[in-house]
Amino acid sequence: MAPLIIINGGDEFLNDRTAKSVTKEALAAVQGAEEMDLDAQSASASDFVEAVSPSLLSSSSVVRLDHLESASDDLIEALEHYAKDAHRELTHAASSSALSHVVIAQKTAGQKGSGIVTTLKRAGANVVTVPDLKKERDQRNFVMQEFRRRDRAIAPDAADLLIAVLGSHTGELVAMCDQLCDDSDENPLTRSTVSSEMSGRPEVSGFTVSDRAFEGNLPAAVQALRQALVSGVEPVMLVGALSSRLRQLALMGAVAARTITPDEVHIQPWIARRLRYQLRGWTSDGMLRCFEALASADEQAKTTSGDPQFALEKAVELIASKGNMSAVAQRGVA
């Protein structure tokens, strides 16, 4: 605990969750403190000075200051003076119990306000840097940590399914982690369980169709495709899932041909192993035919011409046959 704590940038949901957690800790550390909220977009220096001064209600306070990046020059100066004075007093005090005021300032992601953070850090502020979760690796680590916090574990492919569906919505991702832990005793949680739990989401339907098609299981792929379409999943979303997997497969083909290096692919090792196995039997011409079939299905899905559902079935059939037209001729869609 410190007189001034800055929750710096990163993912918006995590920034807010961190600020709430630190605020809770501060209220426990500063007994009898009055909790106050200020917004740097509108708060003046005098508003801040009043918040960290004794009042009729309490001699101590825990102040949460939002939008630090928008603070005025006068407010920044007041924060700097407060941080220096409080840090000096705390340094000479016997323990952290000498804290009478704690300020938790939140700064949103981006370069704006980075100079303010540097200035206040020099004045004695503690800076908590929040991860931004923009990279898939960071998202995966975050999911693993969320399950560890609950003394649970999740299989890597199950974590990747969660990320693929909810990676851009951290709040929903955390809520789903909670729900999975509450609804299942499985440890570690498997991809099958996660897929079942999120079966109502269109993205999951797309991954199911893709998995079955690239496994070569045509009947299961077509069944999953038809179920997805009947349940209202847009054809363009299914095209996207199939195209994404085909692009990954093409990249692994390029690695196998030594056209590019594995480091250039940025695919998780366990996914790369599965793709290498699925790559057997594929040819460049076969991939090209599948890309063309998906492009045709995508065009029909985005226009009023043609039959996108029929085009999708044909594309799935071609993928399940590894782009082999003679194999397609020998097997029909059930």
CB atoms within 10 A of CB 183: 12
pLDDT of residue 277: 84
pLDDT of residue 330: 65
Provide the pLDDT confidence category of residue 74 given band limits of 50, 70 and 90: very high
In CATH, what is the architecture of 4-129?
3-Layer(aba) Sandwich (3.40)
Picking from 146-150, 222-226, 323-327, which range would have the lowest pLDDT averaged per residue?
323-327
Residues 6+ apart with CB under 8 A from 75: 40, 43, 44, 45, 48
pLDDT digits (tens, 9 = 90+) for 286-328: 999 999 999 998 888 888 777 888 889 999 999 999 888 776 6
Please determine, looking at this structure, whether the domain spanning 202-330 carries the CATH number 1.20.272.10. Answer: yes
Residue 90 · residue 98 · CB < 8 Å? yes
pLDDT digits (tens, 9 = 90+) for 16-29: 999 999 999 999 88
For helices 235-256 and 269-278, what crossing angle results, to 10°?
90
The reported pTM is 0.66
What is the rounded distance in angstroms from the CA atom of residue 64 to the CA atom of residue 33? Answer: 12
Q: Which two tokens stand for residue 102?
A: 């704690």
**SS3 sequence of 281-328:** CCCHHHHHHHHHHHHHHHHHHHCCCCCHHHHHHHHHHHHHCCCCHHHH
Angle at 209 between CA 204 and CA 211, to 5 degrees: 90
pLDDT digits (tens, 9 = 90+) for 241-288: 889 889 988 988 888 888 888 777 777 676 777 788 888 889 989 999
- Backbone phi, psi, residue 38, to 5°: -130, 150
- Residues 224, 226, 230, 235, CA torsion sign: positive
Residue 26 · residue 1 · CB < 8 Å? yes
Provide the pLDDT confidence category of residue 333 given band limits of 50, 70 and 90: very low
CB atoms within 10 A of CB 85: 14
- Whether residue 172 is predicted with pLDDT greater than 60 in this model: the reply is yes
Please determine, looking at this structure, whether the domain spanning 136-197 carries the CATH number 3.40.50.170. Answer: no
- Whether residue 95 is predicted with pLDDT greater than 60 in this model: the reply is no
The ranges assigned to domains in the chain are: 4-129, 136-197, 202-330
pLDDT digits (tens, 9 = 90+) for 185-211: 898 999 888 888 876 666 677 788 888
